[in-house]
């Protein structure tokens, strides 16, 4: 890339904005480090402060109790199985016009497109990456995952840990810019960008393993064009540049959609970064570490108390476990070697207190809710989960709504756009041309939130059924067809299992025509049976048709 005046100014702008965004994040860094120490010791990487990659030293040496780590793990796994389980559908494509979405042509295209997207998610590393993202959300309150195009798997995802990136938001409060630092070797840079500075190539040829900082900046493009002819005219600009030497640009391009998914657990006011359950549980986790340390020390002192040993000069007492304290005299009846003092700890009370704090930490991370959800397929239904955990679902509801708007909606739009540009999406039928596709979420947690609506439908249908015994006409007030559509939508039933209104109308018309034909045949048969019965009766009476018509003995008609 030639360093003309425009490019030089752009590089200065990127470096200036990187400094400003990292300065905003600086206020959070001490808190992030504290959270990482107690909940995710292997996460967080502040490259701007000298942190290095691939650290192999022990990072959890200060942790005595692992309740915080396990609680985060349970929450992340619960969100994986409850929101984006690879074993069951978790999203569905629909239309704003429900009647149009019920037509067979539209339903078939939407379902086939959805199945193709599910296949892309399964082939890629999406589920591994989203699981890491849930850990980041639970502890740091903010996550960042980028979705890139991949020639082999269509998409390739990468989740960043806190400290690797700095964010900015639009006037509406939605994240629309990400500046992230990458630490790469010279060989990795040459492998990624063949047209890189010669000094980097020389380092690669010499197998120089020093880390080199690279900036990747993605932000809205002020010069975007709807009919973008090149990457620099797309909706979002993307630039890779070295953060050393001459700040050379390695790649200058763009994205059609914002590639970074940056959800927040909860946001206060106009804050850029979110707040997390770990922030609420941090004080409890600190207290738990101290109490566990005290409990262990008390237990050790009971088993291995400090000793008083006769035969030396009196010294300042050492009360650490197993310490030897020499004394010059013995009290009456005292043995030559005896415990310095009697340790009587109330371990039962300590155990009860620590168990209470552990349970409180687990509740902050919704462990009881997610452990119950994990049993849905074996013991419970989503309805039972909602009924037993209605209060917790209310607390989790705002989080799920935020994830829909900040994570899942842009994710589906991004993947759909990539697939469409690669010719993997069939052209929509004519009736769908120009219509906006609606994304519906049908995961276990999404269904559990809808259970209140299902319960209401069930109550109305039950009430009408009971009232019909007194007044059968009340059934006319209830549209059971619409009830089936509503309940199946809430439960996320595959659309091919529910017939469209047009298909149901055809079935009913065919059934009515068949019933009418059968009724007509029955009436004809009844007429034939009646005529045969009348003839037989007349024969029994000694009459025949000719007699009734006035016929003579030889069949002539009597005048």
Query: In whole angstroms, what is the distance from residue 320 CA to residue 331 CA?
Result: 22
Q: What pLDDT, on the 0 to 100 scale, is given for residue 1?
A: 44
DSSP letters of 140-190? HSB-EEEEEEETTTEEEEEEEPTTSEEEEE-TTS-EEEEEEEEEE-HHHHH
410: enclosing H helix or E strand: helix 409-421
Overall number of domains in the chain? 1
Q: What pLDDT, on the 0 to 100 scale, is given for residue 559?
A: 45
Quick count: other Cβ atoms within 10 Å of Cβ 409? 15
Can you list the pairs that 300-304 forms with residues at least 24 positions away whose Cβ atoms lie under 8 Å? Answer: 301/343, 301/345, 302/343, 302/344, 302/345
Query: In whole angstroms, what is the distance from residue 229 CA to residue 222 CA?
Result: 15
Q: What pLDDT, on the 0 to 100 scale, is given for residue 288?
A: 94
Query: In whole angstroms, what is the distance from residue 504 CA to residue 511 CA?
Result: 10
Alpha helices by DSSP H, 97-143: 98-101, 104-123, 126-140
Does 531 reside within a domain? yes
Do 184 and 214 form a contact (C-beta atoms < 8 A)? yes
Q: What pLDDT, on the 0 to 100 scale, is given for residue 442?
A: 82
Does 544 reside within a domain? yes
Residue 306: name the closest of 326, 330, 335 by CA: 326
Does 285 reside within a domain? no
Query: In whole angstroms, what is the distance from residue 43 CA to residue 359 CA?
Result: 24
Does 514 reside within a domain? yes
Q: What pLDDT, on the 0 to 100 scale, is given for residue 246?
A: 85
Does 513 reside within a domain? yes
Does 543 reside within a domain? yes
Range of the domain at 514: 502-548
Does 527 reside within a domain? yes
Tokens 């796994």 belong to 77
Question: For 219, which DSSP code?
Answer: E
pTM: 0.78
Q: What is the pLDDT along the chain (559 residues), one digit of tens a residue?
A: 445 656 788 899 999 999 999 999 999 999 999 999 999 988 877 765 556 555 555 666 778 899 999 999 999 999 998 899 998 889 989 888 877 887 888 888 999 999 999 999 999 999 999 999 999 999 999 999 999 999 999 999 999 999 999 999 999 999 999 999 999 999 999 999 989 999 999 999 999 989 999 999 999 999 898 888 788 899 999 999 999 888 999 999 999 999 999 999 999 989 999 999 999 999 999 999 998 888 888 888 888 888 888 777 777 788 888 888 888 777 766 778 888 777 777 778 888 899 999 999 999 999 988 776 655 545 555 555 555 555 566 678 889 999 999 999 999 999 999 999 999 999 999 888 888 888 888 887 777 666 656 667 777 888 888 888 888 888 888 787 777 776 776 666 666 677 777 777 788 888 888 888 888 888 887 777 777 666 666 666 665 555 555 555 554 544 4
Does 409 reside within a domain? no
């Amino acid at each position: 890339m030639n360093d003309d005046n425009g490019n030089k100014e752009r590089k200065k702008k990127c470096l200036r904005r990187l400094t400003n965004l990292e300065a905003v994040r600086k206020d959070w860094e001490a808190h992030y480090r504290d959270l990482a120490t107690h909940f995710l010791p292997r996460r967080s990487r502040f490259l701007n402060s000298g942190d290095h990659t691939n650290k192999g030293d022990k990072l959890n040496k200060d942790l005595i109790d692992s309740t915080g780590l396990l609680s985060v793990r349970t929450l992340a796994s619960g969100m994986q199985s409850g929101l984006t389980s690879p074993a069951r559908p978790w999203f569905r494509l629909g239309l704003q016009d429900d009647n149009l979405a019920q037509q067979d042509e539209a339903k078939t295209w939407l379902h086939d497109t959805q199945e193709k997207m599910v296949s892309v998610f399964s082939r890629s590393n999406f589920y591994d990456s989203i699981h890491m993202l849930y850990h980041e959300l639970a502890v740091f309150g903010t996550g960042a995952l980028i979705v890139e195009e991949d020639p082999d798997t269509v998409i390739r995802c990468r989740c960043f840990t806190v400290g690797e990136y700095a964010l900015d938001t639009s006037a509406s409060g939605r994240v629309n810019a990400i500046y992230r630092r990458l630490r790469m070797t010279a060989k990795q840079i040459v492998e990624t960008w063949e047209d890189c500075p010669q000094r980097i190539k020389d380092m690669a040829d010499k197998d120089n393993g020093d880390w080199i900082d690279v900036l990747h900046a993605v932000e809205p493009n002020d010069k975007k064009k709807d009919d973008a002819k090149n990457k620099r005219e797309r909706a979002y600009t993307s630039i890779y540049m070295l953060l050393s030497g001459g700040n050379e640009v390695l790649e200058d391009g763009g994205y059609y959609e914002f590639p970074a998914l940056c959800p927040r657990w909860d946001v206060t006011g106009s804050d850029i970064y979110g707040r997390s359950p770990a922030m609420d549980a941090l004080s409890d986790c600190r207290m738990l570490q101290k109490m566990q340390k005290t409990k262990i020390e008390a237990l050790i002192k009971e088993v291995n108390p400090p000793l008083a040993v006769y035969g030396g000069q009196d010294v300042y007492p050492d009360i650490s476990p197993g310490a030897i304290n020499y004394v010059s005299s013995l009290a009456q009846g005292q043995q030559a070697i005896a415990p310095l003092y009697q340790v009587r700890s109330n371990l039962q009370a300590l155990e009860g207190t620590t168990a209470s704090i552990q349970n409180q930490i687990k509740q902050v991370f919704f462990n009881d809710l997610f452990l119950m959800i994990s049993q849905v397929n074996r013991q419970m239904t989503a309805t039972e989960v909602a009924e037993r955990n209605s209060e917790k679902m209310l607390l989790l509801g705002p989080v799920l709504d935020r994830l829909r708007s900040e994570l899942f909606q842009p994710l589906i739009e991004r993947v759909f756009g990539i697939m469409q540009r690669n010719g993997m999406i069939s052209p929509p039928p004519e009736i769908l041309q120009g219509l906006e596709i609606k994304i519906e979420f049908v995961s276990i947690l999404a269904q559990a939130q809808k259970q209140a609506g299902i319960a209401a439908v069930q109550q109305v249908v039950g009430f009408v059924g009971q009232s019909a015994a007194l007044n059968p006409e009340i059934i006319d007030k209830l549209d059971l067809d619409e009830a089936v559509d509503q309940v199946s939508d809430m439960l996320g039933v595959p659309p091919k299992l529910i017939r469209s209104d047009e298909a149901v109308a055809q079935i009913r018309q065919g059934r009515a025509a068949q019933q009418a034909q059968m009724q007509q045949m029955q009436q004809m048969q009844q007429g034939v049976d009646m005529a045969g019965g009348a003839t037989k009766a007349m024969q029994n009476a000694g009459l025949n048709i000719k007699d009734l018509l006035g016929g003579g003995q030889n069949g002539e008609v009597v005048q």
